[in-house]
């Protein structure tokens, strides 16, 4: 089984995936997955909070997959070893698997395209390399990787997993006029949305639980994919 949820922000929003709030996990195994759609927050600072969260996730019965958000320590993530998993590049640490930007994975017979990253609207209140990192948005090389992988897959995937969303849905979903045209990641995702044939698109970042056709914003919800 595959479950998807929104941002966990380290300890801040982790309560939703505890046994009390999500009892379905009781019968899961390592062959089942929980996907966190960015702002995972595990790799933030090398402190006791990281140790607690690391032990928490490694003790789960299921496998944890995650795309990166804007509120991550991207220098730390980018220093991690890269390996191959289910057809794409990942940063893997035991039970915890980072789905890298622009990759396509085969999971349970279905294809998943991943592209983390987003623009922090609060970055002026953050400190560079302490609470904000330049690599929060998708860069040119990652865009090229994404386009190359999608082209090889004939521009068809079953599911899209991102942190941000294509800009054309921001107004009808959130009335976010102010974001349009400012975020490199949202602009690139707009191109992906226009060119790619997909069944469903899941993303976090906006702290809402809203469905809009094939697009699904997740925050508190944990949903099971019907695969």
Q: pLDDT tens digits, residue range 185-217?
A: 999 999 999 999 999 999 999 999 999 999 999
Average pLDDT of span 55-59: 97
Write down the residue that tokens 């949820």 correspond to.
5
Q: Which helix (H) or strand (E) holds 187?
A: helix 184-195
What is the predicted pLDDT for the residue at 156? 98
Whether the pTM exceeds 0.75: the reply is yes
Q: What is the sign, positive or negative, of the torsion defined by CA atoms of 78, 208, 35, 162?
A: negative
- d(CA 50, CA 43) in angstroms, rounded, equals 7
- Indicate which CATH number applies to the domain containing 178: 3.60.21
- Do residues 67 and 114 touch, judged by C-beta distance below 8 A? yes
At residue 117's C-alpha, the angle toward residues 110 and 170, to 5°, is: 85
Residue 180 has pLDDT above 90, yes or no: no
The pLDDT value recorded for residue 182 is: 79
Q: Give me the number of domains the chain comprises.
A: 1
Domain range holding 126? 2-224
pLDDT tens column, 133-164: 999 999 999 999 999 999 999 999 999 999 99
In this prediction, residue 124 has a pLDDT band, given cuts at 50, 70 and 90, of: confident
Q: Exposure of 43 by Cβ count < 10 A (0-12 exposed, 13-18 middle, 19+ buried)?
A: buried
Do 68 and 116 meet the contact criterion of CB atoms below 8 Å apart?
Answer: yes
pLDDT band at 177 (very low <50, low <70, confident <90, very high): low
């Amino acid at each position: 089984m595959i479950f998807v949820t929104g941002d966990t922000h380290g300890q801040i929003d982790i309560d939703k995936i505890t046994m009390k709030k999500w009892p379905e996990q009781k019968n899961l195994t390592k062959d089942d997955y929980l996907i966190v759609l960015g702002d995972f927050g595990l790799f933030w600072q090398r402190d006791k909070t990281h140790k607690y969260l690391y032990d928490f996730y490694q003790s789960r019965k299921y496998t944890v997959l995650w795309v990166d958000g804007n509120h991550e320590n991207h220098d730390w993530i980018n220093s991690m070893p890269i390996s191959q998993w289910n057809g794409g590049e990942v940063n893997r640490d035991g039970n915890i698997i980072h789905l890298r930007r622009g990759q396509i994975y085969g999971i349970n017979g279905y294809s998943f395209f991943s592209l983390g990253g987003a623009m922090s609207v609060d970055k002026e209140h953050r400190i560079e390399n302490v609470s904000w990192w330049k690599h929060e948005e998708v860069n040119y090389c990652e865009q090229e990787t994404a386009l190359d992988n999608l082209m090889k897959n004939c521009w068809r995937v079953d599911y899209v997993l991102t942190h941000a969303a294509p800009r054309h849905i921001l107004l009808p979903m959130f009335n976010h006029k102010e974001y349009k045209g400012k975020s490199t990641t949202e602009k690139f995702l707009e191109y992906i949305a226009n060119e790619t044939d997909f069944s469903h698109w899941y993303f976090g970042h906006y702290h809402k639980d809203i469905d809009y056709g094939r697009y699904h914003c997740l925050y508190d919800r944990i949903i099971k994919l019907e695969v």
